[in-house]
A and B are shown apart, each in its own frame.
Chain A
Amino acid sequence: GAGVSQSPSNKVTEKGKDVELRCDPISGHTALYWYRQSLGQGLEFLIYFQGNSAPDKSGLPSDRFSAERTGGSVSTLTIQRTQQEDSAVYLCASSPRDYQYNEQFFGPGTRLTVL
């Protein structure tokens, strides 16, 4: 079956512009996670959605970052007024249930470059 998909695969933007990154989770997966992978910081958790519950935003680095999940499926990560330090690969993962034994399935990522 289809895995987690992310778009675009690459995004180049100018400092100060807003960007939107999209994640399509595996059908039926109720949990969705965003992570960021950068040279300086490694892999960091950003935000977590589970069903209709309020998202866990504890990993978002600043208020320029936000995310939403519509209809319990597709998610969009928005970065406003991008900065050069936002350059990274943004990874999305989904999991079949909100369960401590979850296995997260990762998408290929979106590589963001801020000039």
Chain B
Amino acid sequence: AQSVTQPDIHITVSEGASLELRCNYSYGATPYLFWYVQSPGQGLQLLLKYFSGDTLVQGIKGFEAEFKRSQSSFNLRKPSVHWSDAAEYFCAVALYNQGGKLIFGQGTELSVKP
């Protein structure tokens, strides 16, 4: 069965430090991968997506992610975290041929220390 794993439930980083959020997936074919962010009381906002081609994708708000097929991973990175990045981050796989419905990881809550 398809699944997405985010091993870190909660991460705290200092403002200005670098960030990496981990995501591993289990899927029998080439996946379509997404990272979404959810701020308190807000809906989900798409940060970036990977469909094919260049394995390093750039997103909004200075985020990037790298697809590594050999490791079944799609980790999210940011070189310098801002206090406004505090939120919950979700990795997701889209099931193509099933209408594109998303399978989400459990989420990683990011806290930013001043």
Q: Is B19 an interface residue (CB 8 A)?
A: no
Q: Is residue A79 contacting chain B, with contact meaning CB distance below 8 A?
A: no
* Least CB distance, B7 to chain A, in whole angstroms: 14
Whether A48 pairs with B99 at a CB distance below 8 angstroms is yes
Cα A101 to Cα B107 in complex, Å, equals 22
- The A-B contact count (CB < 8 A) is 59
Contact of B102 among A50, A99, A104 (CB under 8 A): A104
Question: Per-residue 0/1 for A82-115: is the Cβ within 8 Å of any B Cβ (1 yes, 0 no)?
Answer: 0000000001010100111111111111000000
Q: Is the CB of B44 within 8 A of A42?
A: no
Report the minimal beta-carbon distance from B24 to chain A, rounded to whole angstroms.
Answer: 15
In the complex, which of the residues B32, B43, B106 has the most CB atoms of chain A within 10 Å of its own CB atom? B43
Say yes or no: B99 contacts A98, CB within 8 Å: yes
Of B66-74, B77-85, B90-98, the segment with at least 4 beta carbons within 8 Å of chain A is B90-98
Q: Are B43 and A56 in contact (CB under 8 A)?
A: no
> Are B99's CB and A101's CB within 8 A?
no
Chain B residues positioned under 8 Å from A26 (CB to CB): none
A interface residues (Cβ-Cβ under 8 A, vs B): 4, 31, 33, 35, 42-45, 48, 50, 56, 59, 91, 93, 95, 98-109
- 16 A-B pairs (CB sep. < 8 Å): A31-B100, A35-B102, A42-B106, A43-B92, A43-B104, A45-B103, A48-B99, A48-B100, A91-B43, A100-B94, A101-B51, A102-B94, A102-B100, A104-B46, A105-B46, A108-B43
The 3 A-B residue pairs with the shortest CB-CB distance, nearest first, are A100-B96, A43-B104, A106-B44
